[in-house]
Amino acid sequence: MKPYSIPFHTQVNRIFLRPIIRALFHVLGKVKVSGAENVPLGKPYVIAINHISIFDPPLSVCFWPEQPEVIGASDVFTKKGQGQLLTMYGVIPVHRGDYDRVLLEKVFAILKAGRPLLLAPEGGRSHEPAMRRAMPGIGYIIEHSHVPVLPVGLVGTTDDFWQRAKARWQGLGEKPELEMRIGKPIRIPPITQKGVEKREARQHNADLVMRYIAGLLPEEYHGVYAGQAIVPA
């Protein structure tokens, strides 16, 4: 496996991008981050977020205590503005639903290098607060990397965030509130099954991560995981 390293130009881009976008969020809304003390700084782990809109990844990345590597849907790279930002930060494109050996090798190299990795288990935006069922990909990554997962619940990042922010500029209401709730690291049970049962176990572990995320969110965000949330002790 080729050792993972961040290109110099990407390192430079991140120095400017993160504070600029962080400041923009502060201008547009009221940002609250809780649970930052749960982040195991300097160690490898997977950050798992619920994914409502395009605002989720930049909010998570720019307010995270350290610089995470990020997996993002390949189709977003073709969109004007969004694609350029993803490329500048060094987001790793993934083709949803496809098995990509090269991508997985890079993912494991990132974690082996001791870096955090951010992804959305749902595999794409829901465009509504209610969560969709996770894809099994995160189960596969956890199975082979043996790193902890940090569940993260994002609140207020709905598609209408920009409209609500503009309304505030026009004197209509308050700044929209955005929250990033970071849960405690969780360890997922190892998989010992074979064949079909192994695939089912990966999906079970992916669902387990989502249940922990649901425990950080209001009930209206639980979606398919309604009644299954694991609330932090």
Distance CA 194, CA 222 (A): 31
Q: Please provide the size of the chain in residues.
A: 233
Q: In degrees, to the nearest 5, what angle opens at C-alpha 92 toward C-alphas 91 and 93?
A: 110
Confidence tier at 57 by pLDDT (50, 70, 90):
very high
Q: What is the pTM of this model?
A: 0.94
Helix axes 195-214, 137-145, angle to 10 degrees: 100
Rounding to the nearest 10 degrees, give the CA dihedral for residues 184, 190, 191, 192: -160
Give the three-class secondary structure for 70: strand
Whether pLDDT at 76 is above 90:
no
The full DSSP string for 151-187 is EEEEES--TTHHHHHHHHHTTSSPPPEEEEEE---B-
Q: What is the pLDDT, as a whole number, of residue 138? A: 93
Q: What is the pLDDT, as a whole number, of residue 124? A: 84
Q: What is the pLDDT, as a whole number, of residue 8? A: 95
Q: What is the pLDDT, as a whole number, of residue 158? A: 92
Distance CA 212, CA 177 (A): 22
Whether pLDDT at 108 is above 80:
yes
What does the pLDDT look like over 125-174, one tens digit per residue?
Answer: 888 999 999 999 999 999 999 999 999 999 999 999 888 888 877 767 78
- Kindly report the backbone phi and psi dihedral angles of residue 180, in degrees, each rounded to the nearest multiple of 5, phi listed first: -120, 110
